[in-house]
Amino acid sequence: MFTKLLIANRGEIAIRIIRACRELGVRTVAVYSDADAQAPHVRAADEAVNIGPAPSTQSYLLGERIIEVAKRTGAQAIHPGYGFLSEREWFSRAVREAGLVFVGPPPEAIAALGSKTAARQLAIAAGVPVVPGTTEGLRDAAEAEAIAERYGYPVLLKAAAGGGGKGMRVVRAPSEMAGALDAARREAQNAFGDDTVYVEKYIVGPRHVEIQVIADTHGTVLSLGERECSVQRRHQKMIEEAPSVAVSPALRKRMGETAVAAARAAGYVNAGTCEFLLDQEGNFYFLEMNTRLQVEHPVTELVTGIDIVQWQIRIAAGEKLPFPADLTPRGWAIECRITSEDPSNGFLPSAGRIEYLHVPTGPGVRWDGGIETGSTVGLHYDPMLAKLIVWAATRDDAIARMHRALRELTVVGIETSREFHLRVLEDEEFRRGAIEIQWLERRLPSLVGAAAPESQVTLAAVAAALLADRDRGMRRAAPVNGSGTQAPATTPWELAARRDALRP
């Protein structure tokens, strides 16, 4: 095992990786920008090195500088987390060429899966089902129309270099083709410097289901099962769960074997994720493979009992995976991404000082966070501050537990997605599991429009409750799946937050 590892990231994921290192007895080196000098991840590590000004192009994206820091501090390995340098082929290669170990896939695997058309060709060759469509770039609108005629409308134009939905256009009739192709090309050129666009049959109303895979350097490639990630907005996931209500044991086995075949074909090593669309008939189609640790990895950890981050490091150190090929998920896990965004204001990013933070605890609750009371939240980095993750025996129990935990969560000083998550968990369609990739955007107006039950409490009632609460212990709260008892409008934690917010 390594004696020292450098974490080329910040925030909650840097802390998550430091925790894994501690448990493995590996010393840690954090890197930080000027904006993060006081950040919790800096104090959580054994040592920390400043790598430059706040903009990530002058700090967290400076691969060569980070490699120099690793060499200087005696770290033998670099974990990139997610985002930043995590999926850069050149960085994986530069780390290797510096005589260090990249905790992630080899550059060859990143390259094989980086371009969408290349990944599609690789998948097809490996017998992995992909959405019907082409694998080569389009010449012109006439060619696109001829292909669309074969598959039937609607079709989807996609950028070959794409990701995050950029350069994507739905085409519902031949008359729309020329304009859509122009728009997709322009967007792809701007975003990726490559205007190659291809066609796929447009799948209507699918779920986004992904399979976590993990591969060692000894030829073992395993599926750790699926995550349901359909609750997203503008390609930003908000809530993820494991398992998925739409995946039976038989489908899990088939999707798992498919993901393993794709990973093998790419020569994959370490943790990775195969993204699929799952249509209303139960057909699944490979979209792409993410060659990094994902934000939502904790839900898989909670239903499999496997510490994915520890195993990433063990694999990088040459260890062999000891798990059986047929893991059955146990219970249900849900994750809510706590972001510094104002859902009632179009998810406008919110910045400022966190005046007070109370983190939920109790049975089955996990908090993967990168903030504390006194933290300043700026606009330089991703708005995700923390992840609240719960585990329970059933989906209904997990929803009730997450609702309870969110009510304990108190963040004073900035706007967060907390209220939004509470409303989603109370939503009847969500509770039935009737979700697909367009569900959230369709449902959003009614979710953020309705006043939260607790904000209907008038200030006078809050004041009265505060007075009445002073001499009383904790009051009993009804569960969200309400069995007759009326839930009180507020919990003691919520009242405490109001008390703080009202203080001058």
Catalytic residue annotation = 292
CB of 232 to ligand MV4, least distance (A): 5
Q: How far is the CB of 131 from ligand MV4 (least distance, A)?
A: 4
CB closer to ligand MV4 out of 110 and 156: 156
Nearer to ligand MV4, 62 or 138 (CB): 138
Q: Return the SS3 of 94.
A: helix
> If we measure between CA atoms, which residue out of 287, 234, 286, 281 comes closest to residue 257?
286
186/218 with CB nearer ligand MV4 = 186
Q: What are phi and psi of 481, to 5 degrees?
A: -85, 25
Stretch that binds ligand MV4, among 41-49, 202-210, 216-224, 475-483 (CB under 6 A): 202-210
Q: Site for ligand MV4 (CB under 6 A): which residue of 99, 127, 152, 165?
A: 165
**Contact stretch for ligand MV4 (CB under 6 A) within 103-111, 199-207, 423-431, 496-504:** 199-207
User: Residue 125, CB half-sphere, CA atoms under 13 Å: how many?
Assistant: 12
Please tell me whether residue 208 binds ligand MV4 under the rule CB under 6 A. Answer: yes
Q: Does 437 bind ligand MV4 (CB under 6 A)?
A: yes
Q: Give least dist CB 216 to ligand MV4, A.
A: 27
Phi then psi for 100, rounded to 5 degrees? -110, 170
Measure CA 211 to chain center: 13
311 sits near ligand MV4 (criterion: CB under 6 A): no
Site string for ligand MV4, 339-368 (x = CB under 6 A): ------------------------------
Rounded Cα gap, residues 387 and 402, in angstroms: 11
CA distances from residue 490 to 142, 253, 402, 459 in whole angstroms, order as listed: 61, 44, 16, 12
To the nearest whole angstrom, how small is the minimum distance from the Cβ of residue 389 to ligand MV4? 20
Residue 156 interacts with ligand MV4 (CB under 6 A): yes or no: yes
Select 69 or 203, whichever has its Cβ closest to ligand MV4: 203
What's the CA gap between 250 and 248, in Å, rounded?
5
Q: Which is nearer to ligand MV4, 190 or 456 (CB)?
A: 190
Q: Which of 200, 368, 419, 436 contacts ligand MV4 by CB under 6 A?
A: 200
- For position 287 contacting ligand MV4 by CB under 6 A, the verdict is yes
Could you tell me the CA-to-CA distances from 399 to 288, 427, 432 in Å, in that order?
Answer: 29, 11, 11
Number of amino acids touching ligand MV4 (CB under 6 A): 14
Footprint on residues 261-280 left by ligand MV4 (CB under 6 A): 277
State the Cα–Cα distance between residues 403 and 254, nearest whole angstrom. 33
Q: Which is nearer to ligand MV4, 10 or 158 (CB)?
A: 158
> Do the Cβ atoms of 40 and 15 come closer than 8 Å?
yes
Question: CB count, 10 Å around CB of 12?
Answer: 24
Q: Which of residues 16-55 bind ligand MV4 (CB under 6 A)?
A: none
Tokens 């910040």, located at residue? 10
Q: Does 110 bind ligand MV4 (CB under 6 A)?
A: no
Question: What are the CA-CA distances from residue 174 to residues 46, 106, 147, 200, 301 (Å)?
Answer: 61, 43, 11, 14, 46
| DSSP-derived secondary structure for 189-230 | HHHHS---EEEEEPPPS-EEEEEEEEE-TTS-EEEEEEEEEE
Closer residue to ligand MV4 in complex, CB, 200/240? 200
CB of 129 to ligand MV4, least distance (A): 12
Q: How far is the CB of 278 from ligand MV4 (least distance, A)?
A: 10
Residue in 5, 30, 131, 259 binding ligand MV4, rule: CB under 6 A: 131
Q: Evaluate the CA torsion angle 175, 176, 182, 185 in order and state its sign.
A: negative
| Minimum distance from residue 208 beta carbon to ligand MV4 (Å) | 4
> Residue numbers of the site for ligand MV4 (CB under 6 A)?
131, 156, 165, 200-203, 208, 232, 235, 277, 287-288, 437
